[in-house]
Structure 1
Amino acid sequence: MAGKKVLIVYAHQEPKSMNGSLKTIAVEELSKQGCSVTVSDLYEMEFEPRTTRKDIVGDLYNPEQFNYGVEAWEACKNGCLSEDLIEEQRKVKEADLVIFQFPLYWFSVPAIMKGWLDRVLVQGFAHDFPKCFESGLLKNKQALLSFTTGGDKEMYSKGGVTGDIRHSLWPMQHGILHFCGFSILAPQICYAPESVAEEERVQMLTSWVKRLRTLWEEKPIDCTPEWYYK
């Protein structure tokens, strides 16, 4: 869709990895559609994942006892967040769609991406209770998790040893992104790319390209417990 803006938050150390290929293909395909695509390559940026005093520019709201949530909230309201956070928030503000591209680590995102979520999606920018979920501050934007796993699809099924993959996605998709107001598109999952034949890896990339061509026609998932735990 010409004119649409996409932010890809990418977390992988190796450009030649499956995640690197998925990211590159998304940039190429979406750009062909006339979209404006921005990539936050967290490892390349050496993005700081820790929430620290350095995120606050100037005086603290309460110098007697440091509370990161309160200080970030106040700094956000007063334009006193660090430059790297202001830049990432600008990217999010401008985006119609945010794609998170990563390998699944311990049923979650890598630490560097979790740090991005912790530091960028602060109160006052992404949510401000009761402005959350459908009324979250990032409503009217879409988010999509695109990731690889170490185990095969059977492992992440209802009867598999790790259980239904949707259960693992509840904290990320609902507890973080939907809480901030994002509408959530169905995840793009590449199961065990390091353990399959080359033809299957090629098929994974082909499937992603095919989906990207009609991505703007998709409807968000029903972000309720029933969708995750049915």
Structure 2
Amino acid sequence: MSALVLDGHPDARSLTAALAQRYAAAHGDARVLALRDLDFDPNLRFGYRERMTLEPDLVEAKRALQSADTVVIATPLWWGSVPALLKGFFDRALLPQQEYRYTKLGLVEGLLPARHGRLLLLADTPWYFVPFTGLPAQTHVARGTMRFCGIRSVRTHRMLGVKDASDATITRWLDRAERLGAADGRRAGAPQPIAAEAASSSVVATS
């Protein structure tokens, strides 16, 4: 598999989900993994003191991560972070000695084979508030998770002011996701679709 797109939104009718689908449709060799459809306990009940048994859906998700050349994470920004669903997936699926490990010198070594990644980050926060509020989820996901696990090149694409976004702005964001998917597909040599799916009329201005 060339690209794996993790949809971290609990709502299938969200703009986040639409962006993930638009990217994958334009790529030509991409799979969307909607975390809301997985059956797993997002609570890391014992921390790292005791290993929890992986549910079948998590086992399959980890296989998909290990076989992807590009990993894309699409997520909204809630309370300065990502939804509990996505954070729980990170906690349960990204494990020491499997997705990362520490060397004898105490340095982290990422074990995911993907060398390219993208973060599609949506927030109600207007762009002009960012210098004051920051976007901690961007650092958390792009650097503290994706790069930590070995994805060396991670590009972040921010869609800000979602709740007040016009239809034209939403269309522009969807078209942007399509262009990114097509570009990544060409780089990977994936068969290019004639045209990506049009945005669903059910998409509303909510991240």
- How does the TM-score come out when normalised to structure 2? 0.78
- Structure showing greater radius of gyration is 1
Q: Percent identity?
A: 22
Alignment-derived partner of residue 145 in structure 1? 119
Match of 1:193 among 162, 173, 177: 162
> Structure 1 or 2: larger helix share?
1
Q: Bigger relative contact order, structure 1 or 2, given CA contacts below 8 A and separation 6+?
A: 2
Over residues 8-45 of structure 1, what are the superposed CA-to-partner deviations in whole Å (9 max), with x where a residue is unaligned? 111223333211210110121012xxx1x222211123
Alignment-derived partner of residue 16 in structure 1? 13
Paired residue total: 185
Would the aligned equivalents of 2:4 and 2:72 in 1 still touch at CA under 8 Å? yes
Moved over 6 A (4+): none
Alignment-derived partner of residue 48 in structure 1? 41
- How does the TM-score come out when normalised to structure 1? 0.71
CA distance in 1, matches of 2:93, 2:157: 23
Q: Does residue 104 of structure 1 match 2:73?
A: no
CA distance in 1, matches of 2:98, 2:90: 12
CA distance in 2, matches of 1:70, 1:90: 24
For the aligned residues, what is the CA RMSD?
A: 2.5
CA distance in 1, matches of 2:110, 2:137: 22
CA distance in 2, matches of 1:140, 1:42: 19
Over residues 149-191 of structure 1, what are the superposed CA-to-partner deviations in whole Å (9 max), with x where a residue is unaligned? 01111111x3xx313x3x5522322222211111232112111
CA distance in 2, matches of 1:39, 1:48: 20
Shift of 1:139: 4.5
Alignment-derived partner of residue 64 in structure 2? 91
Shift of 1:70: 4.5
SS at the partner of 2:10?
Answer: coil
Q: What amino acid maps onto 2:74 in structure 1? A: Q
Would the aligned equivalents of 2:117 and 2:154 in 1 still touch at CA under 8 Å? yes
> Structure 1 or 2: larger strand share?
2
| 1:24-43 correspondence runs (5 A) | 24-31=21-28, 35=29, 37-43=30-36
Alignment-derived partner of residue 172 in structure 2? 203
Over residues 59-80 of structure 1, what are the superposed CA-to-partner deviations in whole Å (9 max), with x where a residue is unaligned? xxxxxxxx542433xx8xxxx6
Would the aligned equivalents of 1:139 and 1:183 in 2 still touch at CA under 8 Å? no
